[in-house]
Chain A
Amino acid sequence: GAVVSQHPSRVICKSGTSVKIECRSLDFQATTMFWYRQFPKKSLMLMATSNEGSKATYEQGVEKDKFLINHASLTLSTLTVTSAHPEDSSFYICSARDYNSYNEQFFGPGTRLTVL
């Protein structure tokens, strides 16, 4: 199947700093990518839908000014957690949609964010 990567795999930062997470589709073009967040022992919660060349669509309750999403190319979407606080510590997962594979989605390995 298609491969989606995320970078970094884990990051530790100080409270108040901003952190950028990259999601790349390695062997296909993805006009749409999705960002999820997962707290310990909880399920994945969809945060936003990222569309190449346009603004992201955020799920209800997700602060768009805090979680900045940029999808500038067909293979890269970035999630920036601005002014991170300890409560933002979580496992962030992206997925990418492959139009050439019946619109199926492929998930990245996730990024573990710890805010001190």
Chain B
Amino acid sequence: DAKTTQPPSMDCAEGRAANLPCNHSTISGNEYVYWYRQIHSQGPQYIIHGLKNNETNEMASLIITEDRKSSTLILPHATLRDTAVYYCIVRVANTGNQFYFGTGTSLTVIP
């Protein structure tokens, strides 16, 4: 699985959009971009994933660049409960392979 690079930490004001970047320049054509988050002392929570088209669900939006070498997770209206470590992972979908987590981005939402 391709490696990802994320900033170690970010702050965001409550109610504003949080934009979390991820670089995955060595991504392969059949690898998806997954985003998970981990709130302190809990298991990882699935957020969203995509291949090349932008994706949106009730939690977030995922914007993938046309060359697929980077992506951005957008939390449209951050709340204090969104404070967590966010992990960007690239992996071939539908294979059930294991996830290899990077260091992630620690997002702090400030009141």
Contacts and interface: CB of A to CB of B under 8 A. Distances in A.
Interface of A: 1, 4, 6, 32, 34, 36, 43-46, 49, 91, 93, 95, 97, 99, 102-110, 112
Determine the main DSSP class of A at the interface with B. strand
Nearest to A31: B96
Interface residues of B, number: 20
Given A91-B41, A107-B43, A109-B42, A44 B96 contact: no
Interface of B: 36, 38, 41-46, 87, 93-96, 98-104
Contacts of A1: 46
B44 A44 contact: yes
B96 A107 contact: no
Contacts of B98: 34, 46, 49
A46 B42 CA distance: 16
Contacts of B102: 43
A103 B43 contact: no
Contact of B44 (A99, A102, A107): A107
A110 B100 contact: no
A93 B100 CA distance: 13
Contact of B96 (A36, A45, A103): A103
Given A91-B41, A104-B46, A110-B41, 8 more contacts: A34-B98, A44-B38, A45-B101, A46-B98, A49-B98, A95-B44, A99-B96, A110-B42
B46 to A, nearest CB: 7
A109 to B, nearest CB: 5
B96 A43 contact: no
7 contacts: A32-B96, A36-B101, A43-B87, A46-B98, A97-B96, A103-B95, A107-B43
A93 to B, nearest CB: 5
Contact of B99 (A95, A109, A112): A95
Contacts of B45: 107
B43 A105 contact: no
